Amino acid sequence: MIYVLHALLLLLSLAVFLLLIAVVRTVFSRLFRKRTSKYVPLGDKGREDEYAKKLSEMIKIDTVSKVGVDKPDRIEEFHALLKELFPLVHEKLEKTDINGNLLFKWKGKKDDRPLVLMGHQDVVPAEGVWKHAPFSGDIDDSLVWGRGSADTKCTVMAFFQAVEELLKDGYSPEEDVYLSSSCTEEWAGPGCPSLVEYLKKQNVKPFLVCDEGGGIIENILGGVNGDFAVLGIIEKGISGVKFTAKSTGGHASAPSKNSPIARLAKFVNAVEKKSPFKRELIPEVRLFFKTLSEYASFPLSLVFGNLWLFGPLLTRFMPLISAQGAAMMGTTICFTMQSGSNAFNVIPAEASVTANIRFGKTQGQEESLRIITKLAAKYGLETEVLLANDVMPSPDMNGEAFKLVKSVIKQTFPTIESVPYVMTGGTDARYYQEICDTCVRFAPVLYGPAQLKGMHGTDECISVSCLPSAVDFYKNVIKACGENNGF
């Protein structure tokens, strides 16, 4: 018994010692750290008004895109508007149109380090009750309102405007520049793949691809105040999986045990209660929290800045703090659809639930599907994979192209910090990773709580004040790709 007490005292002493080290490190680092990361708009009213009006006109055209819905007339109308708003781009650049998916080539003095700027034309359906009609393009309260304002006609406007202004100034790029815009991004359609296939045939291998995905995010986590340039470096894989339970059916007045719906319910409950997938602090996620530790409240700074000690606690309790933060740590599953019999008094001969699975870096497509299939079999369920794309690899964060992006962000937004993160959603950039080693998902616009809530929701909007800096970001990245800065 004495030996056990000695062992417990030794463990307690060690824990206190380690905690003391973590506290001292945190206090010391806070004495010398930069304490704020805040986005400061340029305050250029003339440019704000000009860009807001252009974005407004783009929003007014309903470019809703989803599986089974084809609106070529609306896409053509949108293209005609782009030509009207950005005449020099259409006059000076080589345009390729593949079934409504656009690729503009701005010929540079060299072609060994091409740059691709991306943003999609299509938007998701606009349902529910809106303060401003979803395709009104209203400019009110220093905001541009409407479907696509934040996701992501704002970036399409910004990079077209950047090239338009550079052309007006007589600028010629050192390297080839491509403007890429698909019209099927919202449902992972064939648009962007067709553009990539075209570039492959031209033997084009981009040095850098900049797409949506990240952005300047306000108050990224509770307890971490400020605005941060969030760069999506890993895009999680995605799968649609159907789980089916079968029986002989029958009348509900004489139910048998373990019916299809009961088995499905047990399975769903088991997964919801305890995820079969593990969470892990991969290096990219560690860097995310380490960077934020310098701007967090003391308790979070203590945890985020000392993952060598608190890492296991963070992975365990992050779902209680932030669903987004937890999703970056591994594979997730969410049940989204279900079906059974067509009558309330009939036991279904077949019932099913469908889930959306997002593959993490630690457990990719193959391992994650094997785990969930094995678990489903315990409940007598059949598993059908409807679609699957694996997690995309991270770019070299010490490479020249990635350092260039960070440098341009610092040049354009000198008062904010850059933070890498794992993208839990999907973008067209995944298709470009076949021909480009550095695809960075960053939209140079401010996304506050209202913007994040409005994307794919109601009352989507974007701040007018962030548009000039967005245009400047694209100008700066075009110029930087032609310079030999030794990044």
From 346, 371, 389, give the residue that closes a domain. Answer: 389
> Is 19 within the bounds of a domain?
no
pLDDT at 485 over 60: no
Asked if residues 197 and 191 have their Cβ atoms less than 8 Å apart, the reply is no
Q: How far is CA 48 from CA 91, 434, 448, 467, in A?
A: 25, 37, 18, 6
> Is 171 within the bounds of a domain?
yes
pLDDT at 322 over 60: yes
For 19, the token pair is 């905690």
Structural domain that includes position 217: 45-234+393-481
What gap in Å lies between CA 288 and CA 302, rounded to an integer?
A: 14
Alpha-helix residue ranges (DSSP H) falling in 33-174: 45-59, 72-85, 87-92, 153-168
* Count of helix runs (H) and strand runs (E) in the chain: 16, 17
Residues 124 and 192 occupy one common structural domain: yes
Q: What is the CATH number of the domain that holds 460?
A: 3.40.630.10
> Is 6 within the bounds of a domain?
no
> Is 8 within the bounds of a domain?
no
What gap in Å lies between CA 93 and CA 160, rounded to an integer?
A: 11
Residues 195 and 55 occupy one common structural domain: yes
What gap in Å lies between CA 392 and CA 430, rounded to an integer?
A: 7
Model pLDDT for residues 33-49, shown as the tens digit of each residue:
667 899 999 899 999 99
What gap in Å lies between CA 153 and CA 55, rounded to an integer?
A: 7
Residues 172 and 228 occupy one common structural domain: yes
The whole-number average pLDDT for the span 378-389 is 96
Residues 95 and 64 occupy one common structural domain: yes
Residues 321 and 371 occupy one common structural domain: yes
Residues 283 and 211 occupy one common structural domain: no
Domain count, the chain: 2
pLDDT > 70 fraction of the chain, expressed in percent and rounded: 93
More confident residue, 219 or 83: 83
From 366, 389, 412, give the residue that closes a domain. Answer: 389
From 336, 359, 389, give the residue that closes a domain. Answer: 389
Q: What is the CATH number of the domain that holds 344?
A: 3.30.70.360
Residues 220 and 260 occupy one common structural domain: no
Model pLDDT for residues 427-449, shown as the tens digit of each residue:
999 999 999 999 999 999 999 99
Residues 371 and 444 occupy one common structural domain: no
Residues 353 and 252 occupy one common structural domain: yes
Residues 459 and 415 occupy one common structural domain: yes
Instruction: Give the pLDDT score at 18.
Output: 67
What gap in Å lies between CA 473 and CA 115, rounded to an integer?
A: 14
Residues 336 and 413 occupy one common structural domain: no
> Is 39 within the bounds of a domain?
no
> Is 24 within the bounds of a domain?
no
Model pLDDT for residues 123-157, shown as the tens digit of each residue:
999 999 999 999 999 999 999 999 999 999 999 99
The pTM assigned to this predicted structure is: 0.91
Q: Where are the beta strands (DSSP E) in 272-331?
A: none
Residues 316 and 402 occupy one common structural domain: no
